[in-house]
Amino acid sequence: MDENIERQKEEIDAISAIYQENCQCEDENFQTYNIRIADGDLIANLIVTLPPEYPSVGPPYYLLNCPWMSRKDKEELSNEIERVAESNIGESVIYQWAEKVREFLQNKGDALQKLQAEETEEEKARKQILKSIPIWTTPCPEIVSSEPFTERKSTFQGHIATVFTQDQVRQVLAKLYENRKIAQATHNIYAYRIYKEDSKSWLQDCDDDGETQAGSRLLHLLQIVNSKDVIVVVSRWFGGILLGADRFKLINNAARQVLQLGGYLEASNDTGKRKNK
* Residue 127 belongs to a domain: no
- Could you tell me where the DSSP H helices lie in the chain? 2-19, 71-86, 94-118, 121-132, 166-177, 180-183, 214-224, 246-261
118 domain residue, yes or no: no
Residue 51 has pLDDT above 50, yes or no: yes
pLDDT at 143: 95
pLDDT confidence tier of residue 267, bands split at 50, 70 and 90: very low
Establish how many alpha carbons lie within 13 A of residue 154's alpha carbon, considering only the half-sphere containing its beta carbon: 20
pLDDT in tens, 196-255: 988 889 999 999 998 888 999 999 999 999 999 999 999 999 988 888 889 999 999 999
Same domain, 67 and 159: no
- If pLDDT is split at 50, 70 and 90, which confidence band does 150 have? very high
Query: Per-residue confidence at 133, pLDDT binned at 50, 70, 90?
Result: very low
How far lies 146's CA from each of 175, 253, 261, in Å? 16, 11, 7
Whether pLDDT at 277 is above 90:
no
Give residue 220's pLDDT: 94
pLDDT for 25: 92
Q: What is the pLDDT of residue 30?
A: 87
CA distance 271 to 229: 10
State the CATH number of the domain containing residue 99.
3.10.110.10
Do 254 and 196 sit in the same domain of this protein? yes
Number of domains making up the chain: 2
Q: Look over the chain and give the mean of its residue pLDDT values, rounded to a whole number.
A: 86
What's the pLDDT at 123?
62
One domain for residues 182 and 221? yes
Query: Does residue 102 sit in the same domain as residue 173?
Result: no
Claim to verify: residue 30 and residue 79 sit in the same structural domain? yes
What does the pLDDT read at residue 271? Answer: 43
Question: What pLDDT band is residue 141 in, cutting at 50, 70 and 90?
Answer: very high
What is the average per-residue pLDDT within 83-97? 92
What pLDDT score was predicted for residue 1? 56
Residue 268 lies in a domain: no
Q: Are residues 91 and 149 in the same domain?
A: no
What CATH number does residue 250 fall under?
3.30.230.30
Q: Does residue 130 form part of some domain?
A: no
- Is residue 122 one of the residues assigned to a domain? no
> Is residue 180 domain-shared with residue 246, that is, in the same domain?
yes
Looking at the structure, tell me whether residues 38 and 148 fall in a common domain: no
Model's pTM, two decimal places? 0.51
177 and 104, same domain (yes or no): no
Q: Is residue 125 in a domain?
A: no
Question: Looking at the domain assignment, is residue 121 inside a domain?
Answer: no
Q: Do both 88 and 27 map to the same domain?
A: yes
Q: State the residue range of the domain holding 239.
A: 143-261
Question: Which residues touch 129 (CB under 8 Å, ≥6 apart)?
Answer: none
| pLDDT confidence of residue 160 | 97
In a domain, 135, yes or no: no
Name the percent of the chain lying above pLDDT 90: 60
- As a whole number of angstroms, the distance between CA 2 and CA 20 comes to 26
Q: Measure Cα distances from 128 to 87, 95, 155 in Å.
A: 48, 42, 37
Please check whether residues 92 and 199 belong to one and the same domain: no
pLDDT single digits (tens) 93-119: 999 999 999 999 988 887 777 766 665
Residues 178 and 76 in one domain: no
